[in-house]
Amino acid sequence: MLVGLLVPTAVLEGALRPDLPWLNLSLIAVIGLVPTLLWRRTRPLPMVVIAFGTGGALTLLTGGDHTEPYTMVYHLILVYALVRWGSGREVVIGLAIVLGSACLSMVLRPTGLADVIGGLAVLFSAIALGAALRYRAGMRTRELDQVKLVERERLARDLHDTVAHHVSAIAIRAQAGLATAVSQPTAAADALRVIEAEASRALVEMRAMVRVLRRNEPVDLAPSPRIADLEQLVSRGRTGPSVEVGISGDIDDLHPSVDTAIYRLAQESVTNARRHARHATRIEVHVAADDRSVHLRVSDDGDTGGLRLTAAPGYGLIGMFERVDLLGGTCEAGPDPERGWIVTATLPRTGSPA
């Protein structure tokens, strides 16, 4: 759209300012360089080189005797794009070219001090705006990476709790086998000793790993929550919207990681609804399991207007999206077409992509 507007604007300016020196050459340069805006994000440095290199060549060709059309101000967009999306090396090279072209223009063309200060102020404003938005985007990316890292640690802890449970059972069975090995062949007793030793060693190593992941947090000996524990989210004797939980299908043989992930996502969704759903009276949580997948749907009847539609997803949901993706599932969150907010997720029963 911007490219389409600049061309007729440049032509109109040429018609209204016919007294400009080197008018035709300047208009050709302005219109010919408009397509550089199309690649300002993907190739910011080449576009800056083309635009400001052409401007410098035009200055040398005319000996500084031409007046740039006002439409050429769109070159500031290229400067902004260079700082905003270019790599560090590209920014340095590109800004050197921009400042070199500006200095060449000031040397060859008689320019007052006020015009020099004003031009440099506008140029550095574009640079500052690009740098500010670049920093903001980088900070947001780092925050999201941190959330994903935390969620991966939580997933590792849940996996540890599940595996450790089974390894503990192996160790107990091995110990029981040793207790009754008197009446059994010697080979069986030796095998049970090996099983016990390996299981005990695995438990020690896994607990050491989890102590590192927990970052000195106290160890939670309670089992990981699962779909069967969703009833804990039901509101009883508390203010705010009521929570209704419905479960259908066979959830007995789900992969433990999927079982826990569904609970965590439902918990996060209910928490967000209680905090942000305006005028909500009811939150519905429904889990449906079939032969291949588990489906979660969390919805509320709050208002869909206001900031809730435009706000970025909370870090809790972003972390859960990361967990769902790691387990080979899909997850979406957004306004319901009728009323309220809805979160849906589908995970394979096996906890891995099909």
Look at residue 116 in the predicted model and tell me its pLDDT: 79
Token pair in block for residue 41:
């994000």
Mean pLDDT of the chain: 80
Task: State the pLDDT at residue 46.
Answer: 93
Handedness of CA 210, 215, 219, 220 (dihedral sign): negative
Structure tokens at 298: 């969390």
Average pLDDT of 108-117?
A: 77
DSSP string, 7-26: HHHHHHHHHH-TTSTTHHHH
Is 80 exceeded by the pLDDT of residue 343?
yes
**CA-to-CA distance for 43 and 151, rounded, in angstroms?**
35
Locate 337 and state its tokens: 């077409």
| Cα dihedral 102/108/110/116 (nearest 10) | 10
CA 51 to mean position of chain CA atoms: 33
Instruction: Assess whether pLDDT exceeds 70 at residue 112.
Output: yes
- Whether residue 323 contacts residue 151, with contact meaning beta carbons closer than 8 Å, is answered with yes
Q: How far apart are CA 99 and CA 97, in angstroms?
A: 6
Q: Look at residue 310 in the predicted model and tell me its pLDDT.
A: 41
Q: How far is CA 278 from the centre of its chain?
A: 26
Considering 58-67, 86-95, 252-261, 298-307, the range whose residues carry the highest mean pLDDT is 86-95
Residue extents of the structural domains in the chain: 2-111, 150-213, 227-348
Q: Which residue has the higher pLDDT, 227 or 25?
A: 227
CA 81 from chain center: how many Å? 21
pLDDT for res 47: 93
Pairing of strands 330-335, 341-348: antiparallel
Please determine, for residue 354, whether its predicted confidence score (pLDDT) is greater than 90.
no
Write down the pLDDT at residue 91: 92
Residue environment code for 176-207, b if the CB has 16+ CB neighbours within 10 A, otherwise e: ebbeebeeeeeeeeeebeebbeebbebbeebe
Q: How confident is the model at residue 353 (pLDDT cuts 50, 70, 90)?
A: low
User: What CA–CA distances, in Å, run from 55 to 30, 68, 69, 103, 104?
Assistant: 9, 9, 12, 12, 10
Q: Which CATH number fits domain 227-348: 3.40.50.1100, 3.30.565.10, 3.40.50.720, 3.50.40.10?
A: 3.30.565.10
Q: How many CB atoms lie within 10 A of CB 218?
A: 6
How confident is the model over 171-227, as pLDDT tens digits?
776 777 777 766 666 656 676 777 777 677 666 666 655 655 555 555 555 567 889
Instruction: Give pLDDT, residue 309.
Output: 42
Of 70-74, 118-122, 219-223, minimum mean pLDDT range: 219-223
Round to whole Å and give the CA distance between 308 and 310: 6
The per-residue pLDDT for range 212-264, each reduced to its tens digit, is 555 555 555 556 788 988 988 886 656 778 899 999 998 888 888 888 889 98
Q: What is the pTM for the complete model shown?
A: 0.51
- Give yes or no for residue 296 having a pLDDT over 90: yes
pLDDT of residue 266: 92
